[in-house]
Every structure is written in structure tokens, then in C-alpha cells.
């Protein structure tokens, strides 16, 4: 589904990712872990097409098509979704209207108002969100936890083929992590794929993990199965830091 080949990404004049390779198949759940500043969020932005992150080398293929030069909206239309670590606040636009416009933009088909509303409320219920949030302005005055729920809600309603969750669990209390995990579980099926960027392993307890990658200094230094998580929980990232020879 997703092929990232030899990716080199700059933010302003600084190289953040270099020679990064990643391959995610349909139906898989991949986890990306790594210390702060390793470039995890940059990878999410680069796959989604943030204009502030320029791809200097390498390519991104989605379902066989080269999307390296495509804008974010084109990538979204192809089925890529990014759950933001710090979602923007958009005053004056209600969550409900936003999601309806978004769905219209993604599908190009008129949205049936009542069916959409029913679906929206059902997704909100899954996330223990009060219905009032639908008529609140997008992320405005939302707490950290509410913003994350709003991201997962969007994922549930927009049904992307590939969702990248950028630290969706950070800053959440135990109960909220459970709720968000429930949302992610509800989203996951055999046809869609997930890339979960996280510091924390709680969100992963409820999901079947196919691959775990450790991102360090802008490249993937180690990949493995779910057992890698256990290893990191015990001894941190220390073991994966490239040895510096004095």
C-alpha cells in the first residue's frame, strides 16, 4: 500500500530524515517508536505532504502511484489520513460542518445529511464524546484529550485507507487512552492500514501489531515484530543508538 524509498527530508535548511525506507501492506499495523527529535512527526508530515517539509531525495508510492510531488489534498483523496499531534483550531467552523465539507471534498459526492449525522453521532458515541461537540468550532477551546478524540472521530468518519497517528496517545489520561484505543480498534479492518507513531505503549495493548520500527536520527535503525516493544519498555532506546566510537 505504502512504499517509502530512500527518503531524504529537509525542514527549512535542516536535514531531518535521511535514507528512510518503509513498506506498509494493506491491512497491516506498523508502529514507529523512537526518542524525541528522531524525526517521527516529520515522517508523518512528509507522507501527508506538508509543504514545510521538502523531499530532496527518494520517493513515496501509495497503491503503486508516485505521490512524492502531490499536494496534501490529493494525497487525502487517495486515502491517506494524518491524526495530528497538535491539531489546529479553526474558529467559526463547526466540527460537523467541517467533517461534512471534508467528506464532500474527499468523495466528490453530495453528503446525505441525515445518514451522515447518524454516522457522526455513532462515531462520537464510540469515543464517549458529547453530541454538543459536533456544533462546537473545530478544536477551539478543546482540551488536549478532546483534540485527540476529535482527530480519531475524523478518522472514523472519513474512513481513510491509511491512517497515520502521530502521538495520538500523548498527554492523555489512562481512561482517554482506552477510549482512543477503542476508536482505533473500531476503525481497523483487514483492508486498511495504520502507522502509529508513539512514545507510549499503552495504546498498542489493544491492537494486533505487525511491525515495529525504531526511528533514530532520521532513519529506521531497527525493525521487528511486536516483541521489540517489550524490549524497549524494559531497556529504552539505548540499545539502538548507533555506537559512537571514540
Which of 13, 14, 36, 92 touches other proteins by CB under 8 A? 92
Rounded CA-CA distance 7/68 in Å is 10
Binding mask 138-167 toward other proteins (x if CB under 8 A, else -) reads x---------------x---x---------
Q: Which three cell numbers stand for residue 227?
A: 516483541
Sign of the CA dihedral running 46, 198, 129, 185: positive
Q: How far apart are CA 101 and CA 89, in angstroms?
A: 16
- Among residues 93, 207, 221, 226, which is the contact residue for other proteins, using CB under 8 A? 93
Binding flag, residue 50, other proteins (CB under 8 A): yes
> Does 22 engage in binding with other proteins (CB under 8 A)?
no
Q: Tell me: does residue 228 bind other proteins (CB under 8 A).
A: no
Look up residue 122 and give its three cell numbers. 455513532
What SS3 state is found at 52? coil
Beta carbons within 8 Å of 50's beta carbon, 6+ residues apart? 72
Choice between 59 and 102, CB closer to other proteins = 102
* 125 Cβ contact list (under 8 Å, min separation 6): none
- Asked whether position 207 contacts other proteins by CB under 8 A, the answer is no
Tell whether residue 108 is a contact of other proteins (CB under 8 A).
yes
CB contact at 8 A, 53 and 40: no
Q: Candidates 72, 111, 207, 226: give the one binding other proteins (CB under 8 A).
A: 72
Q: Cβ 222 to other proteins, closest distance in Å?
A: 29
54 binds other proteins (CB under 8 A): no
Q: Which helix (H) or strand (E) holds 229?
A: helix 227-235
- Which residues here bind other proteins, judged by CB under 8 A? 48-52, 71-73, 75-77, 81-82, 84, 87-88, 90-93, 98, 101-103, 105-106, 108, 137-138, 154, 158
Amino acid at each position: 500500500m505504502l512504499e517509502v524509498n530512500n527518503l531524504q527530508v529537509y525542514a527549512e535548511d535542516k536535514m531531518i530524515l535521511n535514507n528512510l525506507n518503509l513498506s506498509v501492506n494493506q491491512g497491516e499495523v506498523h508502529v514507529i517508536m523512537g526518542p524525541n527529535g528522531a524525526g517521527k512527526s516529520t515522517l508523518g508530515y512528509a507522507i501527508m505532504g506538508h509543504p514545510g517539509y521538502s523531499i530532496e531525495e527518494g520517493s513515496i508510492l501509495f497503491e503503486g502511484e508516485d505521490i512524492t510531488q502531490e499536494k496534501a489534498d490529493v494525497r487525502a483523496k487517495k486515502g491517506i489520513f494524518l491524526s495530528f499531534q497538535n491539531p489546529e483550531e479553526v474558529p467559526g467552523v463547526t466540527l460537523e460542518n467541517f467533517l461534512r465539507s471534508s467528506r464532500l471534498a474527499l468523495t466528490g459526492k453530495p453528503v446525505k445529511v441525515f445518514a451522515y449525522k447518524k454516522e457522526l453521532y455513532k462515531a462520537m458515541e464510540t469515543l464517549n464524546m458529547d453530541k454538543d461537540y459536533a456544533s462546537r468550532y473545530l478544536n477551539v477551546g478543546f482540551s488536549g484529550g478532546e483534540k485527540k478524540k476529535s482527530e480519531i472521530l475524523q478518522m472514523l468518519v472519513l474512513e481513510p485507507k491509511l491512517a497515520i497517528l502521530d502521538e495520538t496517545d500523548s498527554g492523555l489520561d489512562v481512561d482517554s487512552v482506552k477510549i482512543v484505543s477503542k476508536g482505533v480498534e473500531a476503525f481497523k479492518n483487514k483492508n486498511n492500514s495504520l502507522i502509529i507513531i508513539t512514545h507510549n505503549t499503552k495504546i498498542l495493548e489493544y491492537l494486533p501489531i505487525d511491525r515495529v520500527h525504531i526511528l533514530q536520527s532520521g532513519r529506521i535503525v531497527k525493525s521487528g515484530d511486536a516483541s521489540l516493544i517489550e524490549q524497549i519498555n524494559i531497556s529504552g532506546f539505548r540499545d539502538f543508538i548507533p555506537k559512537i566510537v571514540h
